[in-house]
């Protein structure tokens, strides 16, 4: 490595750390506002517009937008920390911001013309996405005409663009290629389908397309992307050299980190004020059993952070060096992701018991953290058993017949 390369890497790290500190500080200033809007967010089943505007004005939605479009070009570590800080106040809001930001990162992998279509026209444009593909497409000169329905599009109610999966079949119905297709939200409709127990406010509704033309430059071949083959001409931008699936997976657990921290802080704050019913303990803090429960929960939360930050360092470090992580590393990050969600959720479940039955009162933030964390942990990409099987096969050199998304 040359001295100039080391200097360039050092500048990139310094710039990213400065952006991270700025964005996290801004989010912490907004936490009272985000907390105030939780009830409305859950009632309306979408993030309150006041929260969206405040986060937009703070630049939070530009965390992973290229600097060429006045974004922060943030690393995965920055994404995790910004998302977690939001989740300390509101898990639903954090989830929407997380998914919108990673879709900005995906957009940064596209052909230059596609990036200009989205961010060149509006640097503050927001993108929502769904990987699951529709097969309703017809090839036309210069692109394809797409129809279909895509469920659980988090952030679609606040988006300018949608990034949707499309599966191209050959004349015999066999898969030919799979894409992510960028479409303006103005050419799509939204079906109100998001009725859930947890993450109520994410507005993850169904996006519908009917005969929408998508030019070739707004199609990202998914299997090529999984191997690190990105159309963007800006190969010098380290952030957009990061490994595709590890990024797509790990960004889903930033909210878990913040929610777990919030639950721990709440239980610790309230412990001196709460007795343990039907015992001699006037304060929870006097109970050895309670002390052990809190310690175990805190250690689980620490473990979740250690897994998340190690995985982020592997992704960001490889991107900075211009390397694509090997298969076993990518498989381990997929497993790390499930572990983060599981440990954070286990910690919250443990804290619910330690805090007591009052955790389930509507007025308690604990019940919302419990609902949101347990819901988010069931995202298909996050599921711990899948990640463990993929990683186990990689360690044992057994063929992966589970998923190509590694």
Facing residues of 27 across strands? none
The architecture that CATH gives domain 3-122 is Orthogonal Bundle (1.10)
Q: Band of the pLDDT at 376, cuts 50, 70, 90?
A: very high
Q: What is the pLDDT of residues 254-299, one digit of tens each?
A: 999 999 999 999 999 999 999 999 999 999 999 999 999 999 999 9
Would you say domain 127-222 falls under CATH 3.30.565.10?
no
Beta strands (DSSP E) in 81-204 are 127-134, 137-140, 143-153, 161-169, 175-184, 189-191
Cβ atoms of 115 and 103 within 8 Å: the answer is no
Q: What is the pLDDT of residues 114-123, one digit of tens each?
A: 999 999 999 9
What per-residue confidence (pLDDT) applies to 203?
97
Q: What is the pLDDT of residues 240-258, one digit of tens each?
A: 999 999 999 999 999 999 9
Compute the distance between CA of residue 238 and CA of residue 248 in angstroms, rounded to an integer. Answer: 16
Average pLDDT over the chain, rounded to whole? 97
* Measured torsion, CA atoms of residues 21, 373, 313, 86, in degrees rounded to the nearest 10: -10
Phi, psi of 271 (to 5 degrees): -55, -45
Q: Band of the pLDDT at 9, cuts 50, 70, 90?
A: confident
Compute the distance between CA of residue 329 and CA of residue 174 in angstroms, rounded to an integer. Answer: 31
Residue with tokens 């990673």: 102
Average pLDDT over residues 210-234: 97
Give the start-to-end residue ranges of the domains of the chain: 3-122, 127-222, 244-395
Tell how strand 127-134 and strand 161-169 pair up.
Answer: parallel
Q: Band of the pLDDT at 172, cuts 50, 70, 90?
A: confident
What per-residue confidence (pLDDT) applies to 6?
78
Average pLDDT over residues 86-104: 98
**Chain center to CA of 265:** 23
Sign of CA dihedral 258, 69, 12, 236: positive
Q: What is the pTM of this model?
A: 0.96
Compute the distance between CA of residue 220 and CA of residue 165 in angstroms, rounded to an integer. Answer: 10
Please tell me what DSSP assigns to residue 118: I
Question: Which fold, 244-395?
Answer: Butyryl-CoA Dehydrogenase, subunit A; domain 3 (1.20.140)
Please tell me what DSSP assigns to residue 12: H
């Amino acid at each position: 490595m040359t001295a100039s390369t080391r200097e360039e890497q050092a500048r990139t790290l310094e710039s990213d750390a400065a952006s991270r500190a700025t964005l996290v500080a801004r989010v912490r200033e907004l936490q009272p506002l985000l907390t105030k809007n939780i009830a409305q967010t859950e009632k309306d089943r979408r993030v309150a517009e006041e929260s969206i505007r405040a986060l937009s004005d703070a630049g939070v939605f530009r965390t992973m937008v290229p600097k060429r479009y006045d974004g922060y070009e943030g690393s995965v570590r920055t994404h995790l920390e910004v998302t977690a800080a939001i989740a300390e106040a509101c898990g639903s809001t954090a989830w929407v911001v997380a998914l919108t930001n990673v879709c900005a990162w995906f957009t940064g992998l596209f052909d230059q013309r596609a990036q200009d279509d989205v961010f060149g026209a509006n640097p503050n444009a927001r993108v929502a996405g769904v990987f699951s593909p529709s097969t309703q497409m017809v090839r036309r000169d210069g692109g394809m005409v797409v129809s279909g329905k895509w469920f659980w599009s988090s952030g679609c109610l606040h988006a300018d663009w949608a990034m949707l999966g499309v599966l191209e079949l050959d004349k015999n119905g066999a898969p030919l290629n799979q894409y992510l297709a960028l479409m303006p939200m103005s050419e799509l409709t939204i079906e109100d389908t998001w009725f859930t127990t947890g993450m109520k406010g994410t507005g993850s509704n169904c996006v519908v397309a009917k005969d929408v033309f998508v030019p070739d430059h707004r199609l990202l071949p998914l299997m090529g992307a999984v191997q690190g083959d990105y159309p963007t001409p800006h190969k010098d931008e380290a952030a957009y050299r990061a490994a595709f699936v590890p990024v797509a997976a790990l960004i889903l657990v930033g909210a878990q980190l913040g929610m777990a921290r919030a639950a721990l802080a709440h239980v610790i704050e309230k412990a001196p004020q709460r007795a343990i019913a039907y015992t001699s303990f006037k304060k929870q803090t006097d109970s050895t059993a309670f002390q052990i429960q809190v310690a175990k929960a805190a250690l689980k939360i620490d473990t979740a952070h250690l897994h998340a930050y190690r995985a982020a360092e592997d992704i960001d470090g490889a991107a900075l060096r211009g390397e694509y992580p090997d298969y076993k590393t990518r498989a381990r990050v997929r497993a790390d992701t499930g572990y983060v969600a599981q440990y954070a959720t286990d910690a919250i479940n443990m804290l619910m018991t330690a805090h007591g039955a009052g955790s389930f009162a509507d007025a308690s933030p604990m019940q919302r953290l419990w609902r949101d964390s347990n819901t988010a942990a069931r995202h298909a990409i996050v599921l711990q058993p899948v990640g463990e099987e993929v990683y186990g096969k990689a360690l044992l050199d057994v063929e992966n017949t589970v998923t190509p998304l590694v």
